Amino acid sequence: MIQDQLSRGHRITVILRALRIPSSTYYDWLRWHPKSRNRRRIKLKELVQVLWQRRKFYGYVRIAKRIRKLLKCRLSDRTIWKVMRELGIQSTMYRKRSKKPTTTTDMPQKPNLMRHLADLSEVVTTDITYIQLINQNWVYLATAYDPKARKVLAWQVGQQMTQDLAVAPI
């Protein structure tokens, strides 16, 4: 607005008086330039944006590590977190989906007979747990558990869920 009035031939002192702006404020504004800290922040934002565009699954920790390696400077993860938050960007997480083995039952589920028992001294419970190995194969862990003593009485690991996997408590 000030530039427009100046182009029309009005004097700057009249314009500033009409707008109630001190002349010192106007001349400070004319001489203003961003500080080195702000220039660095702007460059950092551009670099974060570029790195995030290349790999959207990178979070602030990975991006900070990458920038430290590229620029060979000290930079905290928190600074990159703040920059990403200012830019409104975040990592895109991809969930690894692995096919879990399915369980088939021949009979309907039995009622819970232990629920109302006062004495658990002669009770042993069993469980089968699926465990996925590093090579994406599955093994099965069968356990026999004493709920009163809170101890595993016996366990066995097998490649297949068959009757051979059944554990007999000691």
Q: Phi and psi for 130 in degrees, rounded to 5?
A: -85, 135
Instruction: Specify the long-range contacts of residues 135-141, CB closer than 8 Å, at least 24 apart.
Output: 136/98, 138/101, 140/165
pLDDT digits (tens, 9 = 90+) for 105-126: 788 888 888 888 888 888 888 8
Rounded Cα gap, residues 115 and 110, in angstroms: 13
Statement: residue 96 has pLDDT above 90: no
Give the pLDDT score at 77: 92
Count of helices and strands (H, E) across the chain: 6, 3
Q: What is the mean pLDDT of the chain?
A: 86
Neighbours of 60 (CB within 10 A): 21
User: What is the reported pLDDT for 84?
Assistant: 92
Say whether pLDDT at 63 is over 60. Answer: yes
Q: pLDDT of 27-56, one tens digit each?
A: 998 888 888 888 888 999 999 999 989 888
Cβ count near 14 (within 10 Å)? 10
What's the pLDDT score for residue 168?
Answer: 65
Say yes or no to pLDDT of 97 above 90: no
According to the model, what pLDDT value does residue 87 have? 93
Strand (E) or helix (H) holding 129: strand 125-132
Residue range 127-145: average pLDDT?
90
Mean pLDDT value across residues 128-143: 90
Residue 33: its pLDDT value, please?
A: 85
Cα distances from 168 to residues 126, 131, 135, 146, in angstroms, run 10, 21, 30, 12
Predicted TM-score (pTM) of this structure: 0.41
Q: What mean pLDDT do residues 162-167 have?
A: 78
Average pLDDT over residues 73-95: 88
